[in-house]
Amino acid sequence: MQRSAPRPSRSRTRTRVRMLACAAVPVMIVAAGCSSDSDGGGDADKPAATASKAAPKVAPAKFTTLPADPCKSIAAKTITDLVPKAKDKSGSAGKSSDITTRGSCSWNGLDDNGVKGSQYRWLDISLMRYDSEEGLGSGQDRAADYYKKEVAKARATQGAKGMKAAPAAGVGTEATAVTYSVTKTGESFGYATVVARSENVVITLTYNGAGYAGAKSPAASDLVKGATKATKEAVAAVPAATE
């Protein structure tokens, strides 16, 4: 009589099923991975979501240069009116390593009338131009920052008395006139400083004077009127230099 092979126990059957199931899992995972790469729709074919966008460019500066001779930015007749006995009517230009971005000039003189008294006048002007630069900002914004600093500087003059500041209408993009007096060498000097911004250029003009030998010092209203007139001429000279 033939004997039939013994049947495996239930425990052995369960063990074999578990082994076959575990062996099949890695195969399924690999197959799934291959199918996702082969359909052409994977993330590898998409542009990076974090790709940086091009940074916006700053606005170009309006004025690209300054008057070649800052002393000529104010009319000769205006100089004669404001500084009647100027030592050098053509003015004394300041040194600059780059005349397209920075320039200055000054005039001074004493109108001596003997026993009737004398009048001393001083006028100086400085021009500063800013270019637009990535990382620093537009020339207009940089000039606006410098404009504020120049106004603050004028208002912080040491020993100043009767300080007043007010907008100077009709001068460039924005302008401020600062008036005050300072006592020097026993005399009271009147000052008028006009700070004006024309787009990316800032002009700072100071006009001061004093009376000697009993002569009266100039009134603040006269000083600011003359300083404003000269500043307007300087503002108008900037676009003429760029054209």
Q: Which two tokens stand for residue 207?
A: 């006009």
The domain spans of the chain are 8-40, 70-242
pLDDT in the model for residue 53: 60
pLDDT in the model for residue 186: 87
Dihedral of CA 166/171/174/177: which sign? Answer: negative
Domain 70-242 listed as CATH 3.40.1000: yes
Other C-beta atoms closer than 10 Å to the C-beta of 200 total: 26
What is the rounded CA–CA span in Å between residue 196 and residue 167?
10
What is the rounded CA–CA span in Å between residue 78 and residue 159?
29
Cβ(89)–Cβ(108) below 8 Å: no
pLDDT in the model for residue 115: 77
The predicted-structure confidence for 113-136, as pLDDT tens digits, reads as follows 887 889 999 999 999 999 999 999
Q: How far apart are the first and last CA of the chain?
A: 123
**Which residues of the chain fall short of a pLDDT of 50?**
1-6, 8, 13, 15, 17, 19-41, 44, 46, 48-51
In angstroms, the Cα distances linking 152 to 12, 111, 179, 191, 193 are: 94, 32, 13, 15, 11
What is the rounded CA–CA span in Å between residue 17 and residue 25?
13
